[in-house]
Structure 1
Amino acid sequence: MKFKSTPALLFLVMLVAGIVLESFIPFKISIGLFVTSLLVLFFVFIRNKNSIFKNLTFVTWFLFGVVISKIHSIGINASKPISGSAFSSYLVQINSPAEIKPKTYKVEGKILAIKTDSLWQKKAEKTLLYFSKDMGVLPKYGEVYLIKGSPREIEAPKNPLEFNYKAYLQKKYIYTHQFLREGDFKYAGKAPISSLFQFAYGLNNRTQEIFETVFDNPKALGVANALVAGEKSGLDFETKQSYSAAGAVHILAVSGLHVGILFLILKIIFGKILNPKKIWFTVAVLGVLWLYALFTGLSPSVCRSTFMFTLIQLAPLLKRDHNSINVLLVSAIVLLIINPNWIYDVGFQLSYLAVFGIIFLYPRLRNLLEIENKYLRWLWEISLVSFSAQLLTFPLSLYYFHQFPNYFLLTNPIVAILSMLILPVGIFVILLFEVPFIGAFLVYIFKTLIAVLNYLVFYISDLKFSTTTRLELGTYSVILLFMFIGLIIHFFTRRNKLSLIAASVLVLILSVQKIYKTYEQNQSNELTFHYIPRGYGISILDQREANFISTKELIDDPLITQFHLKNYYDHMGIKAETRVSSENRSMLKISKENLKVQWVLDQNAISDLDLTADYLMISNDAIRDLEILKHYKGQIIIDGSNKKWYIENLQEQNKNYNLNLISLYDSGSKTFKI
């Protein structure tokens, strides 16, 4: 790939660099530099200094990235709630369709007004609301509710390397949330809403209603909703894990893949009846594409992908650019100008890398082997498309998910073929569901295809060695891995020996990094007291082996491992795990070489206290009076199973004793070297 044929690449690189590095440049300085660069650029342009103009243009784009990111950050901070602010009640408008959770309906709300000291004040900020399912209330887009109290600020992660949900939501201007139960709210009518979004959410709800009628199997229903309608809340943990292990999890998130499949199908269908060079062909393809975006509720990922393919389709028609890669890059530039924070969105990154891999790498790989049999050739090409996308997304997948599906080359051709059938059939089911005979026939085909897809994915995920886990990569390793892939591609396309030598050096560097990290992990011995809301847990790590002690319920809950432990264990290179239940015990005493941990689980264990232990953890409000611990010199840990009033009471008592007391509710988990 030559830079001359893809001029948008350097503009995109400079824009991204500006967005990422904006925090290092003060706002006023960035504005001043940007305005100055524009003036100098204009002066150079009228003086016809082409070489200077070209270089200065890239500098200006870097500064432009800094400025738009700064302006966007100001918008985020403007919507940030005042620290420590509280009010007696507030009016909130439901601003999204309800997402179905196991025990709640989750919605995004827009706060319209707040009540403080009997006075109402206008407000404009977002919040998350969770309506308990026990109340039988399903909040709908546009509805307004009067809610008692004030939402709480979303807390930062409290366990080592835990996913930072707070930072994730801040990118969407959301800082608070509230769980609502009976008596916490009243319906207050409807407020003016967007007709477009109301129509889109209505279509999405209708789609889900049809699928609920069609499917009686929850797993099949969850996959159908995710694959066709973009609604992932119905997917259970087992299904997500199986699709991830098989290398097919990408089809469960409607984004670039789905829109790309539909785009290809539409071009084939309309290409049979319309002239691809005429405007009506483009109108038909893009019309259906954006209608599908409406069916999925105009989710950001679908809108981004639809916009990307819209530019790809319009470019040849407008005779602006026939280079698909350049059009792809231009679409990324436009979207990042609209919302610079999308550069941090995992879906955005993976979607663009996958499409770039297919556009750039696939044509070059396809010519490496000539296959005469059309069926084998088709299978070869489908496999290459999957490989091209997987190769470019591989480093980021390891960085975010720490695992690799070993059988992805087996899974992806199957998934691609079935997706190309399921998606259009699913759309026709939605459109023709109530048509006699035709609707029933389409439903039968649709259910069969979903059943076959699930069977094959679950079968592949259950194969031995289907997934390689604990593949944690740091930022520098990801950069080196991308460089290695680029050099290997350059070697095979240009036959450049220097590229192969450089790639070999990178392999050596990555290998040394891995050996050194493994050595460090083998020397690590840690004791971690985890913060688990309304629960407790201890991890004892000894040379890449982990013992996790908790209640049987939490040990058996895969979400606890996925959310609270996985990233930590991956980072420490854990190769063996043991789960120990604390069930039916009043006291746990853990001794290991020079380590003594005493865990009080019940008030009945107070008489058996050993005040020589290094660590004393209190659970379930077990010790009410610190008087019995006044001579204890070790570390006292109060975990998440204790009630808040109880924790505050112990902290108040401790003012008289000055013990080494830590509340995990306040500090988050604590790790000690042992």
Structure 2
Amino acid sequence: MAFLALLPGILLFLLAYFRARKLLFPDLFFGSSTALLFFLFGIFSASLHLPQNQPQHYIHKISSEKAHFLKLSILETLKPDAFSDKYIAEVNAVNGKSAHGKLLVLLPKDSLKKPFLEGEQLLISADLTPVPPPLNLHQFNYADFMNRKGVWRQANLRQGTFKKLQKKESGLKTSAANWRRKISAALKKHHFEQDELSLVQALLLGQKQDISAQTYNNFAAAGAIHILAVSGLHVGIIMLMLHWLFKPLTGLKNGKFLKTFLVILCLWGFAVLAGLSPSVVRAVTMFSFLAVGLEIKRRTGTLNSIFLSLLLLLLVKPGWIFEVGFQLSYLAVLSIVLFQPLLNRLYTPANRILKYFWDLLSVTLAAQLGVLPLSLYYFHQFPGLFFLTNLLILPFLGVILIMGVLVIFLALVDMLPSFIAETYGIIIKILIKTVDWIAGHEQFLFKDIGFSLAEVLSWYLFLFTAFLLWKSFGYKRLLAVLISAIILQSVYISSEVRQENRLIVFHKSRSSLVATQHNDQLMLYHNLKSPAKDLKLLQNFMVGEDLQQIREAPLKNIYLQKGHFLMLIDSSGFLPKQTPFNTHLLLTGAPGINLERLLMNLKPAAIIADGSNYPSVIKKWKKTAKAKHIPFFYTGEDGAYILE
């Protein structure tokens, strides 16, 4: 279907192209047809990546009625959770028949079992289930996150079996993973502390799995989270250093071509070493085009390089457009290219030292201006000391990266002097202490900021029109700024006058939480032993809904929501003799009731079981409700129950 839509787009583009060749001045027809062609190409590429359009994808070769044997190759190690190590694997075969597709593999943590390594091949027998969505509103959607990576099923080896095969997968990524393991082993010989070693692996090898939660949170609070991911910042610094290192080559014949070729070759060598992760591939692709743009020495050449890399990446991997890192990287670079020259107009330092720090500050401000709306939307916080973090850390990040490469090389050849290792360890420790000190000033970290998608779009519209006006003043541009300001105000006014009235049964293991939401206030009924406002799920809900007030009270037996009653039966099993019509029945605390007998007298509109019940009891209730043709909802599978 997408291909059939693409054909008219190609014909229209060819018609516009040959027509444009005969025109003295180009018109909108050619540009519009080109934009339409790219749009249709995007739809075609996206449809090709969907499993339903790939006959050899493993989802077409599995069923829920029987067990399957799958041959896998481990592609990537993910950050583990409290119970399992996580991996992304490529399916090679299902029941001996060739197949492909990515699979999330969960390996239960066990001190007797060694974790999987990239390149290892496995034979597993396990049920393949969809990656579960979040069970409560405004929680991180891990299912969507995995789907955008092309992962549509998961295999939990806690309920399955596996066998490691002797043969290992060969290839560029496997070789890079082996090199990273050798580097990590070589560095461990020089007694780096765990925090220092994990930071070196993150900065230079793109491996963030071993970073502690405390260190990660401190970097986020200090506005330095971008330092932990090998992405645009690191690749940009490396590109500028390579640009300076190979500058003497420009004096040779075809020197510019040779210089650009060597810069791009070194960048891709770094990408291979960092594991060819999506963030690294995106950054290296973008800066490979920028390396060409730098030689052109025109701002339009730089912008064209950015958009060409963007187009190429999205044609190859259209799902990347939904990834946060992709969006932030390109917005930061675009914002620097567009806004930094304008900021430099405001002030021209008198000496080179002031100019260096002003350039650094203006780049930081320009990047922050471009990513701020999206950062608030995804992370709901703003580090007020971000400029101080960048002024203290960015000037030395290049030194940290260069010295890190030297330390890695000397460690690999077993020629790393102890004083160099100790010096580098001290530098990394100073970096961690600096970030900890900045993060310690919590009064400058603005958290729990509610920010909607409508606000993001309206703010970017305002910034774009303000940029055009700032660049060149004009009546039409001023009018565009005023219109965008009115749209922005309308978004905020509409959010203030919203009318939200609903009842929610949240999922919480071993507890019951029932809430009524009225506009910007939440009334929460629960049986928790500690204040409910400390729960992460409620904090996420309050921020996501931009709620201003929460009140708490013990659980009640009956709730009313717009003519619908929610009746609670707890562990006592008590039920009133008379019950209202159109009642929703909430079972909590695994009450010892005979549900079949109860349903003979009571005809509820629906039965809800929350996380305070035993799984074995829920299975019986579900079976009984199905036999009586009554809808049954279990919050541990179906998520929070909402009664509008």
Bin for the TM-score computed over the shorter chain: 0.7 to 0.9
**Which string of whole-angstrom CA distances, capped at 9 and with x for unpartnered residues, describes residues 284-323 of structure 1?**
4333322221221111211121122222223566899972
Query: What residue number does 1:421 align with?
Result: 399
Residue type at the aligned position of 1:672: L
1:606 equivalenced with 2:582 (yes/no): no
In 1: Cα distance, 2:195 partner to 2:515 partner: 33
Query: What residue number does 2:610 align with?
Result: 639
Deviation, 1:128, is 0.9
User: Which of the numbers 94, 98, 105 marks the counterpart of 2:85?
Assistant: 105
Aligned to 1:266, what secondary structure does the other structure show?
helix
**Which string of whole-angstrom CA distances, capped at 9 and with x for unpartnered residues, describes residues 82-102 of structure 1?**
384454232322231333414
Residue type at the aligned position of 1:351: S
Q: Is the 8 A contact 1:301 1:348 kept in 2?
A: yes
User: Which of the numbers 595, 608, 616 marks the counterpart of 1:626?
Assistant: 595
Query: What residue number does 2:15 align with?
Result: 40
User: Which of the numbers 27, 33, 42 marks the counterpart of 1:59?
Assistant: 33
Query: Equivalences for 1:195-210 in 2 at 5 Å?
Result: 196-210=172-186
Residue type at the aligned position of 1:97: E
In 2: Cα distance, 1:367 partner to 1:653 partner: 74
Residues 316 and 397 of structure 1, relative CA distance in 2, 3 Å threshold: closer
**Which string of whole-angstrom CA distances, capped at 9 and with x for unpartnered residues, describes residues 263-290 of structure 1?**
1223334447875954443344333322
Query: What residue number does 1:261 align with?
Result: 237
Q: Is the 8 A contact 1:222 1:232 kept in 2?
A: yes
Residues 45 and 183 of structure 1, relative CA distance in 2, 3 Å threshold: closer
Deviates more, 1:433-442 or 1:381-390: 433-442
Deviates more, 1:213-222 or 1:445-454: 213-222
Q: Is the 8 A contact 2:58 2:99 kept in 1?
A: no
In 1: Cα distance, 2:463 partner to 2:559 partner: 45
1:295 equivalenced with 2:273 (yes/no): yes
Residues 593 and 534 of structure 1, relative CA distance in 2, 3 Å threshold: closer
Q: Is the 8 A contact 2:587 2:609 kept in 1?
A: yes
Deviation, 1:249, is 1.5
1:244 equivalenced with 2:217 (yes/no): no
User: Which of the numbers 143, 153, 171 marks the counterpart of 1:176?
Assistant: 153
Query: What residue number does 1:476 align with?
Result: 454
Identity of aligned residues (%): 25
Deviation, 1:255, is 0.8
1:235 equivalenced with 2:217 (yes/no): no
Residues 459 and 546 of structure 1, relative CA distance in 2, 3 Å threshold: farther
In 2: Cα distance, 1:445 partner to 1:64 partner: 52
User: Which of the numbers 542, 545, 569 marks the counterpart of 1:572?
Assistant: 545
Aligned to 2:504, what secondary structure does the other structure show?
strand
Q: Is the 8 A contact 2:289 2:305 kept in 1?
A: yes
Query: Equivalences for 1:463-502 in 2 at 5 Å?
Result: 463-496=441-474, 499-500=477-478, 502=480
In 1: Cα distance, 2:611 partner to 2:370 partner: 41
Deviation, 1:566, is 4.9
Residues 45 and 297 of structure 1, relative CA distance in 2, 3 Å threshold: same
Q: Is the 8 A contact 1:106 1:131 kept in 2?
A: yes
Deviation, 1:56, is 2.9
Residues 435 and 665 of structure 1, relative CA distance in 2, 3 Å threshold: closer
**Which string of whole-angstrom CA distances, capped at 9 and with x for unpartnered residues, describes residues 144-185 of structure 1?**
222123311223443324333333323333210011138711
Query: What residue number does 1:670 align with?
Result: 641
Residue type at the aligned position of 1:381: D
The unaligned stretches of length 5 or more in structure 2 are: none
Deviates more, 1:544-553 or 1:474-483: 544-553
Deviates more, 1:631-640 or 1:547-556: 547-556
User: Which of the numbers 305, 308, 322 marks the counterpart of 2:286?
Assistant: 308
In 1: Cα distance, 2:240 partner to 2:505 partner: 52
Aligned to 1:671, what secondary structure does the other structure show?
strand
Query: Equivalences for 1:267-416 in 2 at 5 Å?
Result: 267-271=243-247, 275=251, 277-315=255-293, 323-416=301-394
Aligned to 1:55, what secondary structure does the other structure show?
helix
Query: What residue number does 1:69 align with?
Result: 43
Residues 404 and 554 of structure 1, relative CA distance in 2, 3 Å threshold: same
In 1: Cα distance, 2:192 partner to 2:523 partner: 40
Residue type at the aligned position of 2:617: Y
Residue type at the aligned position of 1:380: W
Query: What residue number does 2:74 align with?
Result: 95
Deviation, 1:425, is 2.2
Q: Is the 8 A contact 1:93 1:142 kept in 2?
A: no
The unaligned stretches of length 5 or more in structure 1 are: 1-25, 583-587
1:131 equivalenced with 2:107 (yes/no): yes
In 2: Cα distance, 1:579 partner to 1:308 partner: 51
In 2: Cα distance, 1:145 partner to 1:607 partner: 53
Residues 573 and 49 of structure 1, relative CA distance in 2, 3 Å threshold: same
Query: What residue number does 2:623 align with?
Result: 652
Query: What residue number does 1:19 align with?
Result: none
In 2: Cα distance, 1:533 partner to 1:51 partner: 68
Deviates more, 1:431-440 or 1:228-237: 431-440
Residues 366 and 501 of structure 1, relative CA distance in 2, 3 Å threshold: same
Aligned to 2:76, what secondary structure does the other structure show?
coil
**Which string of whole-angstrom CA distances, capped at 9 and with x for unpartnered residues, describes residues 543-602 of structure 1?**
43564847569979x9x72xx44553223212355789x9xxxxx54788999977666x
Q: Is the 8 A contact 1:159 1:668 kept in 2?
A: yes
**Which string of whole-angstrom CA distances, capped at 9 and with x for unpartnered residues, describes residues 219-249 of structure 1?**
4444333222212222333333332232221
**Which string of whole-angstrom CA distances, capped at 9 and with x for unpartnered residues, describes residues 168-205 of structure 1?**
323333210011138711123325532x1122112222
In 2: Cα distance, 1:164 partner to 1:491 partner: 39
Residue type at the aligned position of 1:618: L
In 2: Cα distance, 1:578 partner to 1:201 partner: 51
Query: What residue number does 1:16 align with?
Result: none
Q: Is the 8 A contact 2:219 2:439 kept in 1?
A: yes
In 2: Cα distance, 1:95 partner to 1:512 partner: 50
TM-score, normalised relative to structure 2:
0.85
Residue type at the aligned position of 1:108: I
Deviation, 1:382, is 0.9
CA RMSD of aligned residues (A): 3.7
Query: Equivalences for 1:585-600 in 2 at 5 Å?
Result: 588-589=555-556
Deviation, 1:471, is 3.4
TM-score, normalised relative to structure 1:
0.82
In 2: Cα distance, 1:32 partner to 1:273 partner: 46
Q: Is the 8 A contact 1:245 1:466 kept in 2?
A: no
In 1: Cα distance, 2:577 partner to 2:180 partner: 60
**Which string of whole-angstrom CA distances, capped at 9 and with x for unpartnered residues, describes residues 327-363 of structure 1?**
2222212222222222222212211111112222212
**Which string of whole-angstrom CA distances, capped at 9 and with x for unpartnered residues, describes residues 397-450 of structure 1?**
222223222222222222322422322222222112267785433332332233
Query: What residue number does 1:152 align with?
Result: 129
In 2: Cα distance, 1:487 partner to 1:533 partner: 49
Residue type at the aligned position of 1:141: E
In 2: Cα distance, 1:131 partner to 1:655 partner: 34
In 1: Cα distance, 2:162 partner to 2:439 partner: 45
**Which string of whole-angstrom CA distances, capped at 9 and with x for unpartnered residues, describes residues 95-125 of structure 1?**
313334143322222222223xxxx433222
